[in-house]
Amino acid sequence: MSTEEHRIPEEAGKDEPFVFPAWHNKVPPVFFGIIGPIVTALIIGGVWYYFSPRYTDVGYRPVQPVAYSHKLHAGDLGLDCRYCHTGVEGSTAARVPPTQTCMNCHKQVRTDSVNLLPVRESFAKDEPIKWLRIHKSPDYVYFDHSAHINGGVGCESCHGRIDQMVVVAQAQPLNMGWCLDCHRSPENFLRPKDKVTAMGYTEAMKEEDQLALGNKLKDEYGVNPPLHCSGCHR
Ligand code: HEC
Ligand code: HEC
Ligand code: HEC
Ligand code: HEC
Ligand code: HEC
């Protein structure tokens, strides 16, 4: 009987340990040095991407210095957006109205209202009301309201049902993917130019044959949104 046969199994392990193939030695460095960091970076990057402002911005709804309600003025009273946002058809910025625009009515309407006190003060002192900006593209992005309004894109497609908002909240993410979704297939969103400020029209668009109308308007208005980088990054 050779000594081999007398060995108890545990000892066999000690004398002739299972030899890991040489490449196993490279596993820890390869994992911790290269793959690990990449995986970690991807996870952090992914989490960062989905929770960064571009997504959480939707719903951004700061408290304004005056309790001005779009639901009342644009909804119930039916004022057209362009009465106040005078820039939409002719310039890049839509513009927020000067106090004078409010005073066109509020010199007569609700002249004792405490809610309108800051408006009267602003008018008397000739100091603009400090409205807080809600929608804002980064400086490296070029955006032009007039190009969209004149191309038959409704305010509603980008800002939602403003006529139902007592306080304005951001309705869309305004990120690059969102811009490009429409630029690739604008026919899904185009409406007649005389409906650009109409609210609730998106519902009607769903019922009609939007694709046929959109394609017709696309030709009629000569709509050709840029997809190349320098279209939006000038
Ligand atoms: C009587 C004037 C008036 C009318 C009419 C009006 N707005 Fe406004 N709008 C304002 C004022 C004042 C503000 C700034 C305060 C606020 O955000 O509520 C504003 C803010 C906004 C903002 C947010 C601006 C930002 O800072 O990002 C959007 C979007 C907007 N209006 C869209 C519309 C649309 C669409 C219509 C038509 C359905 C409309 N408005 C009608 C006065 C008006
Ligand atoms: C076309 C006329 C008109 C314009 C322009 C207008 N308003 Fe008004 N506003 C009204 C009317 C009408 C009411 C409601 C009065 C009522 O409920 O009896 C009102 C109500 C208000 C109220 C509520 C008052 C209260 O006592 O609670 C505020 C605040 C207000 N407006 C702010 C503004 C601001 C800010 C602007 C300018 C961006 C503006 N309005 C422009 C007609 C107008
Ligand atoms: C194609 C999408 C789109 C459409 C259509 C659109 N907007 Fe805007 N709006 C934006 C974006 C994006 C911003 C932020 C722009 C920036 O930071 O330069 C903005 C900003 C604004 C602002 C605040 C800053 C400014 O430009 O003065 C107001 C007010 C506004 N929009 C009103 C309107 C109104 C009213 C209409 C319809 C007549 C309209 N928008 C149509 C995308 C749109
Ligand atoms: C709902 C549809 C829609 C969305 C969303 C949209 N666009 Fe557009 N955009 C258009 C259409 C349609 C045109 C073409 C107008 C034309 O050719 O007459 C256009 C044209 C443009 C132009 C060319 C303007 C010029 O003067 O040549 C720029 C720049 C632009 N868009 C930037 C943006 C940016 C930036 C965003 C996102 C923040 C955006 N757009 C979101 C529909 C959209
Ligand atoms: C239709 C308009 C549009 C076009 C075309 C466009 N971009 Fe953008 N881009 C945007 C907007 C809007 C943002 C801002 C995104 C945000 O705020 O989340 C942006 C952001 C970026 C950023 C910043 C990084 C980020 O994701 O926040 C880079 C880089 C970029 N764009 C590169 C490009 C390149 C490269 C092209 C061409 C292949 C291109 N863009 C075409 C609208 C556009």
H or E element that contains 123: helix 117-125
In a domain, 71, yes or no: yes
47 and 147 co-located in one domain: no
For the chain, the average pLDDT equals 85
| Closest ligand relative to 79 C-alpha | 1
**Residue 204: pLDDT above 70?**
yes
175 and 223 co-located in one domain: yes
In a domain, 221, yes or no: yes
135 and 174 co-located in one domain: yes
Any atom of ligand 1 within 6 Å of the Cβ of 147: no
- Within 8 A by CB and 6+ apart from 224, the residues are none
Any atom of ligand 5 within 6 Å of the Cβ of 135: no
In a domain, 22, yes or no: yes
**Residue 144: pLDDT above 60?**
yes
CA separation (Å) from 217 to 174, 182, 221? 24, 15, 6
Any atom of ligand 5 within 6 Å of the Cβ of 138: yes
At 29, the amino acid letter reads P
The residue range of the domain holding 190 is: 62-96+131-232
Q: Write out pLDDT tens, residues 22-33.
A: 666 666 565 556
Any atom of ligand 1 within 6 Å of the Cβ of 135: yes
Residue with CA closest to ligand 1 atom 40 = 81
148 CA to middle of ligand 5, Å? Answer: 18
**Residue 10: pLDDT above 60?**
no
Is 189 in contact with 221 (CB distance < 8 Å)?
Answer: no
Residue with CA closest to ligand 5 atom 40 = 229
- Gap between the Cα atoms of 137 and 209, Å rounded: 32
31 and 88 co-located in one domain: no
pLDDT at 51: 47
| Closest ligand relative to 190 C-alpha | 4
Any atom of ligand 5 within 6 Å of the Cβ of 172: no
Neighbours of 69 (CB within 10 A): 17
